Amino acid sequence: MLDFQPLGFQQCILNTIYGDMVYSRNDLHFRETLLPKSPLVFLHSLGVGSSSYEWSKVYPAFATRYWVIAPDILGWGDSAHPKRDYYPQDYLNLIRTLLMKVAVKPAWVVASSLTAGLTIRLAIQEPHLFKGLFLISPSGYRDFSNRYGQDLISLFFSITGFDRIIYELGIVNKLAVRTFLKQFLFAKSSCLSDEIVDAYLASAAKINSEYSALSSLKGNLYFDLAQYIPDLKVPTIFVWGEQSCFNSPHHGQKLALLNSQWIKSFHMISGAGVLPHLEVPAIIIGLLDKYLG
């Protein structure tokens, strides 16, 4: 999002069949030195308040060496917010369009959570678009046919009309956002800054933001990632916060064992939750740099 965009980056627009998708990229004074470098794409998760801000403490570290592309995926952040339900194929189409029209060359893609799971599916379909995957807690939230306690939440938010009332009154306020981040996404509340809360609130409060958020909360986007992983043939790294509350590191290790040939390494980050790239960005920068070479 522009209000939280790091210095040295500029905001651009990609036209898609669903509407305009905004993305940040290296500013001009960086790009003149980057002609031979591969694109490096950062994809945020699909939870309430998500946006490219999620990766804003990591991607500036690579601005002098890579073509950095960090979108607000359609329906989130500064991008268009169509009034529609969203399904996995919509996001597969959007990520494909981004890679084909903006990255152009095979890219290293860095992604988290449900978006990371969807990225695996796209990499299986079109491996030529990818150079490698660096994924934080990839999941489909139906992995191994488990439901992870999501059924009641999905049913609750599937009540037409009532869902938007709950979103507007119970979710889009500073206290609710701070509480959610503190209780569910961060292992250490001391790492949760006012800026992080403000960025998540700003994205969640965008007009029509409830459509994309509720599609996730209602379970429209969920799938069994375990069924797809054996078909992956792109070099992949898994990273997991030790205290991730949605899917444990053990869950991640089970997924990784389904394709040990292409999932090259599994890293567990101690003292981190669902978002180690916001909670301990220096560690994620170091790991990513190691695999990018």
For residue 159, is pLDDT > 80?
no
- What pTM, to 2 d.p., does this model score? 0.93
Q: Report, as an integer, the average pLDDT of 97-123.
A: 98
What separation in angstroms does the CA of 65 have from each of 37, 38, 84, 191, 291? 7, 9, 38, 28, 14
CA angle 136, 139, 145 (to 5 degrees): 155
Least-confidence region, from 27-41, 109-123, 244-258: 27-41
41-99 tens-digit pLDDT = 999 999 999 999 999 999 999 998 899 999 999 999 999 999 999 999 999 999 999 99
For residue 155, is pLDDT > 50?
no
DSSP assignment of 64-122, as one string?
TTSEEEEEE-TTSTTS---SS---HHHHHHHHHHHIIIII-S-EEEEEEHHHHHHHHHH
Q: Give me the domains of the chain, ranges plus CATH numbers.
A: 2-292 (3.40.50.1820)
Q: Report, as an integer, the average pLDDT of 246-268.
A: 97
Q: Which of 59, 37, 261, 228 minimizes the C-alpha distance to 131?
A: 37
pLDDT at 145: 85
Q: Report, as an integer, the average pLDDT of 278-291.
A: 98
Q: Report, as an integer, the average pLDDT of 207-234.
A: 94
Strand partners, 107: 130
pLDDT at 147: 64
Residue 237, token pair as written in the block = 């790294």
For residue 272, is pLDDT > 90?
yes
For residue 13, is pLDDT > 50?
yes
Distance CA 13, CA 15 (A): 6
